[in-house]
Each structure stands twice: as structure tokens, then as C-alpha cells.
Homo-oligomer: A and B are copies of this chain.
Amino acid sequence: MSETSSSAPVTQPPPAAAPRGVTQTAPHAAPTGGPQVQRQFVNFSFWKLDPAFRRLSADEKSAAHEEFLTAFNPRRDGLICLSYSTLSLRAECDFLLWRIGSSPDVFQDQTQAINKTRLGGYLSTPISFLAMTKRSMYIDKLDPFHTAESRTHIIPGKRKYLFVYPFVKTRDWYLLPLEERQAIMDVHIKVGNEYPSVKLNTTYSFGLDDQDFVVAFETEKPEDFLDLVMKLRETQSSKYTQRDTPIISCIQMPMDKVLDQLF
């Protein structure tokens, strides 16, 4: 397993003409059983603006707004970054940066740039999840829901709503025979496939962060996602959930509009 990342190509960042940070074409995903692909790092960082920033003068705020976008907007090699507003959707935070990179160094480089702005003196990150991509050990026999590709390369879409949460399974789960787990997952996947409007991105945090997985669901129809989650409660997989909170609802939004919301 130590050779996993030896010879795979690095995920190509999206072409320069594309909207910043959004992949428009699938990267070089390997077919199952084919050559291994480079695994990516994924960071969900949730940011909060100190209300004290709002007490500054209109001029100071306007300058900080412009300065922040100048630091934030340029495309960074090896980094895909999507912004979402969480304002009024979650108490602890104001916005999310969903970051995907070939190395965590690119997350740090972007945060360093943020830290050097005026706004950086008023921003904190009350919630953060770190994860990596990885091919699933469960086979999706139908596959419209989980593509092998989606576990090794995140291709964030342009859907309005994103629902993110960490996921910890009970230790009992991992001691079940693989066949039994596959059977339980078959039902789980089958229910998921009834809601084609919902796209799931699963990433892996074992040993990197407090959770086992971070799951991120994209959809245009939040009511579908709600109904899906409620229906999954009635499947056997549900009883092997140890923790699945905090659950954070997000709305995709360009960064300048996010800032407009905040001050």
C-alpha cells in the first residue's frame, strides 16, 4: 500500500478560462483495476467574521473587501477552492471554503495569504475538517450514485446546496464480516439511488482528523436530501452510526457576495 501514490498523475487544476476553482472536465481518473491515481487532500474550513470588524468605518470595510478579493481570487496551482455561505444556516460560522489540493501545503498557502489581509485580523475558523480521497471498498453494483472516480477525485459541481458532515461509524461496524457490510451497504446505496438529484462526495479522515469520513452532498433540491436522510434512518446501516454531527448546510456563492453578506 505504500506505493499508492508513486506514479500517478497529479490532478490537473481546471483550465484558466474556467471559473476559479471549479473543475469543468474530469481529471485523469483511473478505471477500476487500472493504474493508480493520485489521492487528493480535502479541507472543509468554516470561517467566522468577528462582529467587531463591522464596527470599522465604511471606508475601512470597503478597502478590506477589495484587498481580500485581490488576495483570494487568483487561481492557485494545485488548488480547487469553492466558496459557500453558511450565514443564517449554522450558528458557529459564516462561510465555507471547500478546498481540494494535491498537498495540504496549498491550503496553508491560501490561508497565509488570507492571514496577511486586513480582514484576516478578524477571521477565525471555528470548524475545520481534513480528509483525503480514497477508492471505496464497497462495490456500488448500480453505480449512478457512487462512481469509483468520485472517491479518488472530487469534482465539485455547481449545485446551489451543499450539506457537509463528519461521519464516525461504531467500532462494531468494522468488526462485521466484509460480506455483511457489503449487504448492508447494498441497501444503503439502493436508497441513495432513489434520489438522483443528490450527489454524494465521500472523503476519508482516518487518522487525519476526529472523524472516519467527511461526506458532502450536493443538490438543487434540499427537500430531496432531507427525505433521503430520513429514509436512510430506517436502513440497517443507520444503527452503526456513532456520530454524524455537526451537519452544516451551505449555499454556493462567489466570495464577493459572501463578503457583501457579512459587512
Q: Which A residues are within 8 Å of any B CB, using their own CB?
A: 1-2, 4-5, 39, 41, 43, 45-46, 50-55, 85, 87-91, 99, 104-105, 107-108, 110-112, 115-116, 118, 120-128, 130, 132, 134, 163, 171-172, 174-175, 194-197, 204-210, 212, 217, 221-230, 233-234, 236, 238-239, 241, 245-247, 249, 251, 260-263
Beta-carbon contact of B51 and A207 below 8 Å: no
Docked Cα-Cα span, A210 to B122, in Å, equals 27
Given contact pairs A88-B125, A90-B209, A111-B261, a sample of 20 additional A-B residue pairs in the complex whose CB atoms are under 8 Å apart: A1-B224, A1-B228, A4-B227, A51-B121, A54-B116, A89-B108, A90-B128, A91-B128, A112-B260, A112-B262, A115-B262, A132-B222, A134-B223, A171-B233, A174-B234, A205-B226, A206-B233, A207-B217, A207-B230, A212-B230
Instruction: Give the shortest distance, in Å, between A150 (CB) and chain B (any CB).
Output: 17
Docked Cα-Cα span, A230 to B119, in Å, equals 39
Docked Cα-Cα span, A197 to B208, in Å, equals 16
Instruction: Give the shortest distance, in Å, between A197 (CB) and chain B (any CB).
Output: 5
Number of copies: 5
Beta-carbon contact of A88 and B116 below 8 Å: no
Q: Nearest CB to that of A6 among chain B residues? A: B221
22 pairs, CB–CB < 8 Å, chain A vs chain B: A4-B221, A51-B123, A51-B124, A53-B121, A54-B121, A87-B112, A91-B125, A104-B249, A112-B262, A116-B263, A163-B208, A171-B233, A171-B241, A172-B239, A175-B236, A175-B238, A207-B217, A207-B247, A208-B222, A208-B226, A210-B246, A212-B230
Partner pick for A54 among B115, B130, B261, CB 8 A cutoff = B115
Instruction: Give the shortest distance, in Å, between A106 (CB) and chain B (any CB).
Output: 9
Docked Cα-Cα span, A224 to B111, in Å, equals 26
What 3 A-B pairs come out closest when comparing CB atoms? A207-B229, A54-B121, A174-B233
Chain B contacts of A124 at CB under 8 A? 51
Chain B contacts of A239 at CB under 8 A? 171-172, 175
Docked Cα-Cα span, A249 to B108, in Å, equals 13
Instruction: Give the shortest distance, in Å, between A50 (CB) and chain B (any CB).
Output: 7
From known contacts A43-B88, A50-B51, A88-B43, infer whether A132 and B226 are also in contact, taking CB-CB under 8 Å: yes
Instruction: Give the shortest distance, in Å, between A205 (CB) and chain B (any CB).
Output: 8
Beta-carbon contact of A45 and B107 below 8 Å: no
Instruction: Give the shortest distance, in Å, between A39 (CB) and chain B (any CB).
Output: 5
Partner pick for A247 among B1, B39, B112, B210, CB 8 A cutoff = B210
Beta-carbon contact of A247 and B208 below 8 Å: yes
